[in-house]
Amino acid sequence: MKHYKNLGLAVFLLTANILFSQKKKDSITKQSHYTFSIGKATDNSFTKSKSAQAIATFPNTDGATDSYLIDGYLDASYVIERMSEDVFSSITSIGAFYEIHKNTLVDSGKEQDVRQFGVSFNHTWGAIKDLDDPYRPSGKRKESIRDYVISGSIRKSYNRITDKNSFQAIVGFKINRLRSMKSADEDSFRFLNATMKLPEKGKITNVFQMSYDYNIGLGYIENEKVILGNIDFQLNFYPLSKYLKNTFNQEQLLFISYNYSARGELLGNLESDNKAFRTWTYGLEIDAGKTSTIQLSYNTVRGANPYKGLVDQDYDTMALKVKFSLDTK
């Protein structure tokens, strides 16, 4: 047990060192602010960007119990942004969160009821280079050619179904932006940029656009004495995207999304269900602000999630989902 606790502490200290060890440059300016957000889970930047959902049924039949599906978090974070000559340099955030993952709408024996609280962190930084720009007097323009994201959380998790407490540590990584080192107006790698809608131009955008997101990382579950390798992937399709933006100013009004999350045992043996978690989501999404959305969607859910006490599931739902962020900047 001591070995795993020390390993979890080592992962956290290594991550903290990465977050705060970048060299300070004289040309860098800094500003700070707070964010308050609601979403699905604070495991990493991938899950934190997803929407929270809540469903409840209150039967009038005598003896019947109320049922719930609650999947979400509340997070308050302190954010530091650094700029180098008006070009993004890095964003660092650290926050406190509380999560509820509860599902009693499923078959008996598969109910989920997990409460979690802890600290979340995110650090995004860029590799800034001078690119050719004929419109600048100097002939050059600073721009980030790669944006890296490392994110994660440490938490205390209580499973009310099994009456077990556990310490968890999760860390993830992705390259959010990758561009070629050509002129400032040319970029042959744009298709590799996570979350960017493609294609960007042309008549086809009136009919179809797509985007993707991903995260790879590690996780540690103390009470099961196991270290897991994690991979999360999402593929999004937006029918009639530009047409809907021009007509309703809502670019993602219609969407189809596929999510795949898998965990593999790197050290130790997992006692919980570990079938890959897959969802298909079809629906409407309305922008309610720069970083806030409301969704009405039909969802097919298959698989398990050992971090959330979710045993192997197979169900469909119609849900109202919300992602909300309030920024003091």
pLDDT digits (tens, 9 = 90+) for 266-300: 999 998 888 999 999 999 999 887 789 999 999 99
pLDDT digits (tens, 9 = 90+) for 91-132: 899 999 999 999 888 777 788 999 999 999 999 887 666 655
pLDDT band at 183 (very low <50, low <70, confident <90, very high): very low
- Burial annotation 208-223 (CB, 10 A radius, 16+ → b, else e): ebebbbbbebbbbbbb
Residues 218/203, Cβ–Cβ less than 8 Å: no
pTM for the structure as a whole: 0.81
**How far apart are alpha carbons 38 and 297 in whole angstroms?**
18
| Residue whose C-alpha is closest to residue 131's, from 117, 145, 142, 120 | 142
Average pLDDT of the chain? Answer: 82
pLDDT digits (tens, 9 = 90+) for 136-179: 666 665 666 677 899 999 999 999 999 999 999 999 999 876 65
- Quote the longest CA-to-CA distance of the chain: 79
Q: Cβ contacts of residue 135 below 8 Å, gap of 6+?
A: none
pLDDT digits (tens, 9 = 90+) for 67-86: 888 999 999 999 998 876 65
